[in-house]
Amino acid sequence: MINLAMSLAILGAALAALLAGIGSAVAVGNVGEAANGLVSQDPGKFSKVLILQLLPGTQGLYGILVAILLLSRVGVIGGAPLDLTTAQGAAYLFACLPMAFGGLFSAIHQGKTAVAGVGLVAKKPDQSGKAVIMAAMVETYAILSLLISILLIYNI
């Protein structure tokens, strides 16, 4: 039976996957639009902009990872559900928030950086590595969010 405590934990997992996934979907879509415009004019630059488009998709994967780890930890998948207190359920919900919001906002801003990188590749294709590095720098905050959520989940 799912009680309030388990509902709170499941809500945390859902928010981590949903918000990080929304951020990734928005960002990958925006970069894809910019990349398609460039590739329509110069198909040879496809491989250079593909990496830029893929980068903001990682936050969605991190959100799913946090959700799976939490659901496994509380026994929703892979075991018998734990008998959680309401405080524990709330703690699991809050443990997922760094990934939920860190994933959402870092994906959107990584997408903006990657769109600018597509513009750089359009004008100076030899500078594509710099465009990737700049977009990848935003990834640091998604990874930190992932780390904090995992540490919190496993220390409740």
Domain positions in the chain: 4-153
Cβ-contact 85, 2 below 8 angstroms: no
4-153: in CATH 2.60.40.10: no
Chain segment 30-66, per-residue pLDDT in tens? 999 999 999 999 999 999 999 999 999 999 999 999 9
Amino acid at 39: V
Question: Looking at the whole model, is its pTM more than 0.85?
Answer: yes
- Give the pLDDT confidence score for residue 32 in this predicted structure: 97
b/e per residue 1-33 (b: at least 16 CB within 10 A): eeeebbebbbbbbbbbbbbbbbbbbebbebbbe
